[in-house]
Amino acid sequence: MEEIRLNKYLAACGVCSRRDADKLIAEGKVTVNGQAAVPGMKVTKQDEVWARGRKLTGEDEKVVLAYYKPVGVVCTERDAHAERIVTEEVDYPIRVTYAGRLDKDSEGLLLLTNDGALIEAMMRGSGRHEKEYIVKVSARLSKEAVEAMRGGVYLDELAVMSRPCEIEELAPDTMRVVLTQGLNRQIRRMCKTQGYDVLSLKRTRVINIELGDLKPGEYRQLTPSEMQSLYEKCGLKKQ
């Protein structure tokens, strides 16, 4: 029976990173066959391993969460200079990470998952997956500015043209924007080309997943039908 180091096994099961697994083991929070685990030990699939209050099956259960990222939370795994990071804000028994970022000053829907294949598929630019935002700017929107951004504008700092996008005016200074592109701080840069600063930016949809009634800091697990549709739209087969 093939043996595997316990910290690697915990990481493969989506519990945490290998480094954090070593801490869990050292703190006595992992058991193997009813006994406290020890650093450096190895296990097989026949062993009964418990960590963080759940029995591990040896299979990485795929999970996707819809999370309302508040303003001020940083999308990073580790950052000594960030006061709040997303991986510490979401208390979930399975280790998840973000699929697509939201900058510190923005809020709204962020998908979190332990499925690397899904993250890769969602981030692939050729997929043209839709992301929807509500954006408030610093002055009244002009028709010329809206039309320019709809058609695509040149972003000097990135040396690239933004793709044509869908824009609906909701108020004199507020618009709904649907992008199929994921450039760094894209909407803020697009607005800047037209002389506007973004006062608030909220993401309300990623592909088929809606922010819905979530409040800042809240999260929920996707329903089976949402998961199925998300995987299909990303060209993946749900395991």
Q: pLDDT (tens digit, 9 = 90+) per residue, 202-216?
A: 999 999 999 999 999
Mean pLDDT of the 155-164 span: 97
CATH number of the 64-125+213-233 domain: 3.30.70.580
CA distance 65 to 182: 20
- 103 part of the active site: yes
Residue 168: per-residue pLDDT: 98
Domain boundaries, the chain: 4-56, 64-125+213-233, 130-206
> The domain 4-56 belongs to what CATH superfamily?
RNA-binding S4 domain (3.10.290.10)
Confidence of residue 87 (pLDDT cuts 50, 70, 90): confident
Contacts of 79 (CB under 8 A, 6+ apart): 85
Catalytic residue among 47, 103, 156, 213: 103
Identify the band that residue 105 occupies on the pLDDT scale cut at 50, 70 and 90. very high
User: What local confidence, expressed as pLDDT, does residue 238 receive?
Assistant: 65
Q: What is the pLDDT at residue 200?
A: 98
Strands (E), the chain: 4-5, 30-32, 35-36, 42-43, 49-51, 54-56, 64-69, 97-98, 107-113, 131-137, 154-155, 160-161, 166-171, 174-179, 198-206, 209-210, 219-221
> Above 90 in pLDDT, residue 94?
no
Where residue 37 falls among pLDDT bands split at 50, 70, 90?
Answer: very high
Q: Would you state the pLDDT for residue 131? A: 98
Each residue's pLDDT tens digit, 40-72: 999 988 899 998 788 887 656 788 999 999 999
| Main-chain dihedrals φ then ψ at residue 133, nearest 5 degrees | -135, 150
Q: Does the structure show a pLDDT above 80 at 181?
A: yes
Range with lowest mean pLDDT among 92-96, 125-129, 139-143, 158-162: 92-96
- 130-206 falls under which CATH superfamily? Alpha-L RNA-binding motif (3.30.70.1560)
Same fold, 4-56 and 130-206: no
pLDDT of residue 239: 56
